[in-house]
A and B are shown apart, each in its own frame.
Chain A
Amino acid sequence: MRADILVFPGSNCDIDTEIALREALPGWQVERQWHDGADLSESQFCVLPGGFAYGDYLRAGALAARSPAIAEVRRLIGRGGLVLGICNGFQVLVEAGILPGAFQANTVQHFVCRDVQLRVEGASSPFLADFAEGDVLTLPIAHQEGNYRLTLDEYRRLKDEGRIAFTYCGPQGETGETYNPNGSTAGVAGVLAEGGRVLGMMPHPERAAWPALGRKDGLGILAASFSPRLEGGKL
């Protein structure tokens, strides 16, 4: 089994993601691939990592979303592979039209870098196999343009289709604007494509997946139901 991490000029979370994937998926081949000439034909799982692909020129994720590597990502999705976009990778998937919505600058007008709590919503996805609806995870965010915009109609449709993966919340799972770090519509922190095999999320699971860093909530997301250590849905 093989997982690939796409690296664009300006990606900066690719090595962290590689280390975390090796932790989450023991026995897997984990490779970082430069976007130009990337080949995902052997891959079961592709991660678009965080960073500032192409310097966020034009719009965050806009230029990476038009690169030939994204055609490879679309082929992987067509074959039923898993795709995870983290932070800037989420922005790329949205700009590519693979996930709905759009991103704007945080309403607070500055870069936000801190731990947040996330409520796991009742979505059906391999990325959420380790969790139950209502679980509260702690993961870090680090972004300037994490204000995820959905129209009210889009939000309702995603909710009806069980495609909201995570909502920003308080320590007990309580939701509301108090706990919304960036102004995202309804505090949405992560969404799924139809079928649940593509996940985009602003928080960084790879920064909470290494025991030395003290947090492990990201491991279950990265294991994406594949880990041999998953027993009864728990790592």
Chain B
Amino acid sequence: MPEYRAHLQVRLRTGVLDPAGQAVGHALGDLGFAARDVAVGKLLELTLEAASLEAADAEVRRMAAELLVNPVLEDYDLEIVPR
């Protein structure tokens, strides 16, 4: 079966308080930068085998639902590329 590499960008949902993003934003301000709306998220990457790109996509979305992402607080973008 073909191999795919999945990249999940996990971020806090809109409206969820992001204390880490705020702290980083303050630090950037202290350094004289004028960045706004700083957000801190995380990047998860994994390799999997699947019959097709669509099957790989569905499998990673199941992983996200069961473990990788907390839907109460987090949202994600998924990019999958053949290896």
Is B a genuine binding partner of A? yes
The interface of chain A, by Cβ under 8 A from chain B, is: 58-59, 62, 66, 95, 101-102, 104-107, 109, 147, 149, 183
The A contact surface, by secondary structure, is loop
CB distance from A133 to the nearest CB of B (A): 29
Do B17 and A107 touch across chains, with their CB atoms under 8 A apart?
Answer: yes
Residues of A within 8 A of B66 (CB): 66
A106 and B18 CA atoms in complex are apart in Å by: 10
| A102, chain B: closest CB distance, angstroms | 4
- Give A216 to B72 CA distance when docked, in angstroms: 36
- Other A-B pairs beyond A66-B67, A102-B70, 12, CB < 8 Å: A58-B67, A58-B68, A66-B66, A102-B72, A102-B73, A104-B19, A105-B19, A107-B17, A109-B23, A147-B19, A149-B16, A183-B19
Which residues of A lie under 8 Å from residue B20 when comparing CB positions? Answer: 105, 109
Task: Flag B7-31 by CB within 8 Å of A: 1 or 0 each.
Answer: 0000000001101100100000000
Majority-rule SS of B interface residues: helix
A147 proximity list for chain B (CB < 8 A) = 17, 19
CB closest chain-B residue, reference A61: B70
A147 to B73, CA, bound (A): 12
